[in-house]
Amino acid sequence: MLPSKTNPPPALSDPVNRVDTYYALTRPFTPREWLSIKPVAGARFTYYDRATGGRDGYTRALGEIGFDADLQASSTYNYKNERWGIDGIRHLVKPYVSYRAIGNADQGAAYIPPIDRTAFSTYLQPLGLGDRRDIDTLGTTNTLRLGIDNTIQTRDPVYGSRNLAELNVATDWRLDGAGADPRFSAIQTELALTPVNWLRFDVYTNVTPADLTLREINTGLTFQDAGVWSVRVGTDFLKSDPVAGVAGIQEYTLDLSYAINEAYKAIMQLRYDTRLGSFSRQSFGIRQNIRNLWLIDYILTFRNGDTRAGSIGLSVSVELANF
């Protein structure tokens, strides 16, 4: 009896072609000038020409529903301080809520080659189905994101206004409570203080709400001359988690940038690992600004202690400039 003919799963060296597309319908509503609501309904279709599990190809269709809503309020205070250049204070506050439901996102997992997988990150990942990068290892989503952004500004004779302080807090509430993830994600807080144009202090914290454990704290102090040069000295700390297979981080960082002319800027980043007692990464490069529309980085990187990448790397990245 002849053995049945099956399609073997693609090896790591075999190319897998994937076609991925996302469509969404959304319409913002502003019932009040201080309230904005944006319902979302979307669908994502992904086709793999070499599937696993004995299939030649596989097509997956997923749908999502949800909304984004935010409330904006402000208050002003007649406070002046000539030493720090403060001419009045305005407090802007924006509470926001986002919700996404993606059902049966793990369907067909046995046939999908994991090209883009979930990467470890302590930051809150995109909620929307169209923004997800880990599309080959998606899980069912039923999540409410809660956050509040605060900004304190003052008048500026050149720019009209400038930020003195920013405080943003956010967390995810997984409504179904299924899976190994806790019902509430870590509480993430970002604080930035800019008392003068040439000085900025920032800190990011990641705290587990169940036991108030500080998982991560990153700090930075930046000196700058806007449009010419900047120097940032920082610290990065991440608590190790043997259960999740996460190694701890204790590093000092130094970021330098200098504008050579209107089109080119020299950039450098150094990361010193206190556990290794040496530099874990040294990056040197050039950033090219094309008509204030595109930013292209040409970076040469030397690594130490990174088992996933080589000791030397050359990268070119293209980014759409903010405008």
Average pLDDT of span 200-205:
97
What token pair was written down for 229? 């040069």
DSSP secondary structure, 79-141, as one string: EEETTTTEEEEEEEEEEEEEEEEETTTTTTGGG---SS-PPP-SSPPP-SGGG-S-GGG---E
54 — phi, psi (to 5°)? 85, 10
Which residues, 6+ apart, have CB-to-CB distance to 12 below 8 Å?
A: none
Q: How far is C-alpha 116 from the geometric centre of its chain's CA atoms?
A: 16
**Range 316-323 contact pairs with CB under 8 angstroms and sequence separation of 24 or more:** 318/294, 319/294, 319/295, 320/293, 320/294, 320/295, 321/289, 321/292, 321/293, 321/294, 321/295, 323/292, 323/293
Strand pairing partners for 38?
68
Tens of pLDDT along 35-47? Answer: 999 999 999 999 9
Residue at token pair 């454990």: 213
Q: How many residues appear in the chain?
A: 323
pLDDT at 211: 85
- Rounded-to-integer distance, Cα 190 and Cα 150, Å: 10
Radius of gyration from C-alpha coordinates of the chain: 24
- Rounded-to-integer distance, Cα 65 and Cα 24, Å: 9
pLDDT at 12: 47
- Is there a contact between 280 and 273 (Cβ–Cβ < 8 Å)? yes
Tens of pLDDT along 81-114? Answer: 988 889 999 999 999 999 999 988 888 888 888 8
pLDDT at 7: 43
pLDDT band at 291 (very low <50, low <70, confident <90, very high): confident
The residue ranges of every structural domain in the chain are 64-106+140-320
Average pLDDT of span 287-300:
91
pLDDT at 1: 33
pLDDT band at 125 (very low <50, low <70, confident <90, very high): confident
Tens of pLDDT along 167-194? Answer: 999 999 998 865 567 788 889 999 999 9
Q: Residue 308 has what DSSP assignment? A: S
Average pLDDT of span 270-288:
93
Mark 31-46 as b/e (b = at least 16 C-beta within 10 Å): eeeeebeeebebebeb
Q: How far is C-alpha 123 from the geometric centre of its chain's CA atoms?
A: 6
131 — phi, psi (to 5°)? -100, -5
Q: What is the mean pLDDT of the chain?
A: 87
Protein fold of 64-106+140-320:
Porin (2.40.160)
pLDDT at 275: 86
- Is there a contact between 26 and 40 (Cβ–Cβ < 8 Å)? yes
